[in-house]
Chains A and B, each alone.
Chain A
C-alpha cells in the first residue's frame, strides 16, 4: 500500500473486499476461526486504509488489491512482480509498447476487451486491475 495514502478513509466496498479476502484465507486454512473472527471484526471497524491494512496484515497477496483511490495502476506492479518487460507484455497482449506505457502511466484507459485480456493475463479481475 502506498505511503501517505493510508490516512484516506476506506469505503464500505473496501471493507467488504477485505472481508472477502479474509474469508478466502479462512477457507484455505490460512486462518483459524478465532483469528478469522478477530480479523473480520477489525476490518469492519477500520475507518482508514492504514487501519484496513493493519486488519489484514499477514494475509498473503490478494490484500494488496485493497488500494485507495488514485493509487497507481496495478498493471505496472503486476508486471514488475512477474519480471516481465513492457515489450514482452505488449507482445503478449498484442498491443504496442507505447500503449503499455500509456496504460501504466494512467494516460490511456484500455477498451473493455483489452482490459479483460490484461486481467486474464495476470490472473486478476478487471476490477482488481483497473478500479
Chain B
C-alpha cells in the first residue's frame, strides 16, 4: 500500500493516520475532555506539515522523514530501533517486578509489553537468522559428519 504513496508523503501520512486515531479516541470517550481531540487534530496537521518540510532537507533526519534512506541511514535507524526495544523490554521488566513487589493491579501492561518485546525478538531470530543455518558441507559431499563432542 505504501508504494502507491510518494516517498516524501509516506511518513506524514502515517503520522496523520496515528494522529487522527488518537483524536478519535478522545472524541469517542465522550467525556468533558472531548476538546482534546480538536487539539490533537491541530497538532497532527502541524506535525505532518513539519515532517513533510523536514523530508525535503539534505540531512539524515530529512532522509528518514522523506523515506529515502541509504544503507548507512537504514543501519542507524535499525540500531536506534534495537536500542528503543531494549529499553522497552528493560523498563517493562522493571515495572512488572515493581508491580509484583507492591501487589499492584497495574502490572499487566508491563507484562504485555515484556511479552511482546520477547516474542518479537524470537520472531526476528526465526525470520532473519535461525532459518538460514542451512546444511553442513559434509551433508552435501556425503561424508560422515563428526559430532562436535565425543561421548
- Of the candidates A94, A96, A111, A114, which one forms a contact with B63 in the assembled complex, judged by CB atoms under 8 Å apart? A96
Smallest distance from the beta carbon of B97 to chain A beta carbons, Å? 39
Verify A98–B71 contact, CB threshold 8 A.
Answer: no
Verify B60–A110 contact, CB threshold 8 A.
Answer: no
The distance in angstroms between the C-alpha atoms of A99 and B58, with both chains bound, is 12
A-side interface mostly: loop
Verify A110–B71 contact, CB threshold 8 A.
Answer: yes
Q: Which residue of the partner chain B has the closest CB to A97?
A: B58
- A102 contacts B by Cβ under 8 Å: yes
Q: Which residue of the partner chain B has the closest CB to A98?
A: B60
Per the CB 8 Å criterion, the residue count for chain A at the interface is 11
CB neighbours (8 Å) of B103 from chain A are: none
- A95 contacts B by Cβ under 8 Å: yes
Verify A95–B59 contact, CB threshold 8 A.
Answer: no
The distance in angstroms between the C-alpha atoms of A94 and B68, with both chains bound, is 10
The distance in angstroms between the C-alpha atoms of A73 and B94, with both chains bound, is 45
Verify A114–B60 contact, CB threshold 8 A.
Answer: no
The distance in angstroms between the C-alpha atoms of A52 and B95, with both chains bound, is 63
CB neighbours (8 Å) of B58 from chain A are: 96-97
Bitwise, A103-120 to B at CB < 8 A (1) or not (0) is 000001011001000000
Sample of 18 A–B contacts (CB below 8 Å)? A94-B70, A95-B70, A95-B71, A96-B58, A96-B63, A96-B70, A96-B73, A97-B58, A98-B59, A98-B60, A98-B63, A98-B72, A98-B73, A99-B70, A99-B71, A99-B72, A110-B72, A114-B71
Q: List residues of B whose CB falls within 8 A of some A CB.
A: 58-60, 63, 69-73
Would you list the 8 A-B pairs with minimal beta carbon distance, nearest first? A95-B70, A99-B72, A96-B70, A108-B72, A99-B70, A98-B60, A111-B71, A96-B63
